[in-house]
A = this chain, B = another copy of it.
């Protein structure tokens, strides 16, 4: 069986490497050719286009940037759906729109090409250490066949429902994180202005109902002034905009998400698009009146 991998960004390179290291024969394609070199040196084959990958592989993973990139790779005359062999399983690991996942599933179905939407969470570290969470939508038998490949880089892998359910679950993930990040940043900037020891504040409130992964993991980086990306602001904005559109489609009100997305767009305009999501703290620092009287 030949596995294909399209999209060798920070996440994709680590994930493809795990597939290769697990012993699969691997064919790769990515727009920026140099990004494939290390994998080719390690034994992967190069393909010149998604179409070439489609013609050679039985299971094809993709992780590209935006929904429009997913459309480019999957749909149209040179895309995966039109050129994959019958029975091929296409796995889109990109965080993309639920409706596009459903469209790919339906168009693939007309040619007996299977597809799964399987966005991940866990960031670059999770990808390097092969402990990503993978949220999958699609048919159970395709899921079972794809599972050994997903297990090479995923630790928690769950079939969430039919086509689009993986993307919907990832949207729930981003919705929960988005509002939570406002809470973390507001608590930290409040603590600073109140003259509290921010580290001690985090330690203390993390013993109770305010505990969260974001507070424990991003809090200390914020205090240290380290805003390097785990996850990019620009990508988070993309995800929140997908979630907002999907929520609006379903008639779901998400005012917390909307506010978070507005604030992150402001943050990007301030020049933080390529910083980590926890740099939202900087927006609060910029807008808060630091001449305010500390009551400590």
Residues of A at the B interface (CB closer than 8 Å) are 98-99, 102, 121-123, 126, 133, 135, 155-156, 158, 160-162, 164-165, 168-169, 171-180, 182-184, 186-191, 193-197, 200-201, 203-205, 207-215, 217, 231, 243, 246-247, 249-257, 259-260, 263, 284, 287-296
Flag if B256 contacts A182 (CB, 8 Å). yes
Enumerate 6 A-B pairs (CB-CB under 8 Å) in ascending A order. Answer: A135-B205, A171-B190, A172-B196, A172-B210, A186-B247, A190-B246
CA distance A135 to B200 in the complex (A): 11
Cβ contacts under 8 Å, A180 to chain B: 179-180, 183, 210, 212
Q: Across the interface, which residues of B come within 8 angstroms of A164, CB to CB?
A: 194, 295-296
Q: Which 5 A-B pairs have the closest CB atoms?
A: A251-B292, A251-B289, A182-B256, A179-B183, A212-B212
Output the least CB separation between A271 and chain B (Å).
Answer: 19
Look across to chain B and name the residue whose beta carbon is closest to the beta carbon of A212: B212
Provided the pairs A156-B204, A190-B243, A205-B121 are in contact, do residues A292 and B250 lie with their beta carbons within 8 angstroms? yes
**Contact A246 B295, beta carbon cutoff 8 Å:** yes
Q: Main SS of the interface on chain A?
A: helix
Q: Which residues of B contact A249 (CB under 8 A)?
A: 292-293, 295
Query: Nearest residue in B to A198 (C-beta to C-beta)?
Result: B172
Task: Please name all residues of chain B whose beta carbon is closer than 8 Å to the beta carbon of A123 when the two chains form the complex.
Answer: 209
Bound Cα distance A195, B169 (Å): 10
Smallest CB separation, A262 vs chain B (Å)? 9
Are B156 and A252 in touch, CB under 8 angstroms?
no
Min CB gap A39→B, angstroms: 26
